[in-house]
Structure 1
């Protein structure tokens, strides 16, 4: 398995506050990775470290086999779209494409102009007068026209209406299919993650709580109802992720880490699994 992103005990401290703590990650090539977690979990910190925008306090990270941001050639292999889809409001769409061509040695002008035409952008329109969905589409086009091997998105559709969000994700998946690019997509919208991602990284309290193929992770998690007195008698190989108590019963979300037998276990979906880790165990 070729790792596009590899981290070992990766740590970032802001003053006394941990942004990311002892993160170990291996993200395989060719995956669409959903990066999820509550606010302050460390998602933007991980993405900043991956792009070379910030330096780690400890540990190591490699992106495409190199330390991020160390060489122009390495930067050219990574496309990044921030949450506010940063564009120059005074520049036209055409001027953004010309700027992209000047700054990126691998720029695919044919691809960029084809995409602009497909999504109906006016080349003479200034970016500051585009809608939110149009700005997101232009930022996506610029990132992809670099012909990167890795695309990183930090909440790119958070402010978009449902139709614009659907169109953005649809176009993103077309790019994935056409260019065979690896994608890391940070999002609070779990429905979007479930729709387009086949790999998941879940952060909570600055730590990696889950990382792996979505189907494999979901298959390991179950909902189980037990008597409260049985909480401490669960079989080995059953890790309690979340517990809710009502009367004499406890409803658990359990991760099966071994061949544990879980009577009356009920499968859960991706959203239930992620929310269980976000809310934690209550005893």
Structure 2
């Protein structure tokens, strides 16, 4: 099956600073993919490149095999909710739905938007500027879903919401995706929310892709090992030590497992998505700092 998003050697520069550099990844169709990284990692830049709002300085991005800047045909397949969940604040939800229908004539589903907002108790005749932040986010999501997109891009739409509003937003999103074959790429740094909803992971840090793959597979192939104080020697059954911490007598390692059994001196523990993400982000920071000082990492 053709990937929903395919990126090859992608780069985007602002002045002398690379927001993304030599990035290659795929988002398989039908997945709910989490795009994770700290502020400044390049998440928003990647989404803006995928939706055609920016032009790459290197490499290429394809959405369902097409360049999002090469014409408007692929844009009809994309729904996008930007970080500040933009809606015209003087327009009511009903007026926004009407406007959406005039701008998206291909397969606009006004009834879907109205039904979702009614289910959430959002008044159709109240200006968006007088709604709460959570309600505006739900309006933006309803408009994006009414487009019946094949790909839905969400740029940290829940970052500023309170826990209850975040839960309601994610429940609405998951319910909508379950009813369709929409692929979702969701940028966020709220790992607990992502672990409950996403089945694919992309980790960005310092303008580069650090990790990508199905969440179940990543959790299965990573472990925390606790054992004797480790030096530089390799540990049997370990492909890569991602992150290590030490005391005088023991070491704790987050590792990617190899094909053979792990040395029995080490006790294995399962990891969470948060464990894996934070380990790779810390590993990237260590390598960047070492490079800056000319030290091998």
TM-score (norm 2): 0.90
Are the counterparts in 2 of residues 238 and 260 from structure 1 also a CA contact under 8 Å? no
Give 1:23 shift: 1.3
| 1:258 CA drift (Å) | 3.9
Give the match for residue 199 of structure 1. 200
CA contact (8 A) 2:152 2:185 kept: yes
CA contact (8 A) 1:224 1:253 kept: yes
Unmatched segments (≥5 aa) in structure 2:
287-296
Q: Which residue of 1 aligns with 2:109?
A: 108
Quote the residue 2:268 is aligned against: 265
What RMSD over aligned residues (CA atoms) do the two structures have, in Å? Answer: 1.7
For the pair 1:138 / 2:133, whether they are aligned, the reply is no
State the secondary structure of the residue aligned to 1:280: helix
Measure how far apart 1:24 and its partner are.
1.3
* 1:163-196 residue CA offsets vs partner (Å, 9 max, x unmatched): 1110100010111011220000111110111000
Q: Report the counterpart of residue 41 of structure 2 in structure 1.
A: 41
More deviation in 61-70 or 148-157? 61-70
State whether residues 243 and 280 of structure 1, in contact with CA within 8 Å, keep that contact through their aligned partners in structure 2. no
Q: Deviation per CA, 1:71-109, whole angstroms, max 9, x where unpaired? A: 222111100001110011111111111110111122111
CA distance in 2, matches of 1:236, 1:112: 52
How does 1:167-186 map onto structure 2 within 5 Å?
167-186=168-187
Looking at structure 2, the residues matched to 128 and 165 of structure 1 have their Cα atoms a distance apart, in angstroms, of: 19
Deviations 1:129-175 (CA, angstroms, capped at 9, x unpaired): 00011101000000000111000000010111111110100010111
CA distance in 1, matches of 2:59, 2:259: 30
Structure 2 match to 1:120? 121
2:57 counterpart residue number: 57
Deviation at 1:257, TM superposition (A): 4.5
In structure 1, runs of 5+ residues without a counterpart are none
Between 1:226-235 and 1:237-246, the stretch displaced more is 226-235
Structure 1's consecutive aligned runs of 4 or more residues displaced over 4 angstroms after TM superposition are: none
Q: Superposed, which structure 2 residues align to 1:1-283 within 5 Å?
A: 1-105=1-105, 106-235=107-236, 237-259=238-260, 261-263=262-264, 264-280=267-283
Q: CA deviation at 1:236?
A: 7.0
Distance in 2 (CA, whole Å) between partners of 1:19 and 1:248 is: 41
CA contact (8 A) 2:34 2:200 kept: yes
Q: Deviations over 1:52-83 (max 9, x none)?
A: 11111111110111011332221111000011
Deviation of 1:119 (Å):
1.4
TM-score where L is the length of structure 1: 0.95
Q: Is the 8 A contact 2:90 2:128 kept in 1?
A: yes
More displaced 10-residue stretch of structure 1: 240-249 or 118-127:
240-249
Per the TM alignment, residue 229 of structure 1 is displaced from its structure 2 partner at its CA by 4.5
CA distance in 2, matches of 1:78, 1:87: 17
**Native 8 Å contact 1:32 1:196 kept in 2:** yes
C-alpha contact (below 8 Å) 2:2/2:65 kept by paired residues: no
Shift of the 171–229 alpha-carbon distance from structure 1 to 2, 3 Å rule, reads closer
